[in-house]
Amino acid sequence: MQRANEQLLACMVELTPLLAVALFSELDKGRVFYREVFLPRLEEATLSMVRDIYGAQAPPDDDLDIVVEAMLGVHFGVALDNLMRGRPVDVPKVAARLSELITLPPSERPGEPA
């Protein structure tokens, strides 16, 4: 899980500066860049992550779409926030923490009895 998060976060850190330029310029150009450049790379990285965790069989398209959207939110949020604040992302450290948060056992989840 940690290696997969590292791969996806590193991809997002690499692509976010380009996406930020595209998104904050002209909307039509940003949409084209998002659909033709960013989203295919995100889908590829997410599918690789899912396969690393769950095996070679790809999940159904609907499930993969949800995972892509979820990973877009988490990893892109980290990358964009740090880009806009002018801070580097410690990819291994952040990926390790994300992995811990994603895989907390039910007894360790906040608000749930142990």
Report pTM. Answer: 0.60
Q: What's the distance, Cα to Cα, between the start and end of the chain in Å? A: 24
Instruction: Give the tokens for residue 53.
Output: 């965790």
Residue 77's nearest CA partner among 101, 96, 94, 52 is 94
**Beta-carbon neighbour count of residue 18 at 10 Å?**
12
CB 65 within 8 A of CB 35: no
pLDDT tens string, the chain, 114 residues long: the values are: 778 778 888 888 888 887 777 766 776 777 787 788 877 887 787 777 777 766 667 667 777 777 777 777 888 889 888 888 889 999 999 999 988 887 756 555 456 555
Instruction: Give the tokens for residue 69.
Output: 């959207």
CB 46 within 8 A of CB 87: no
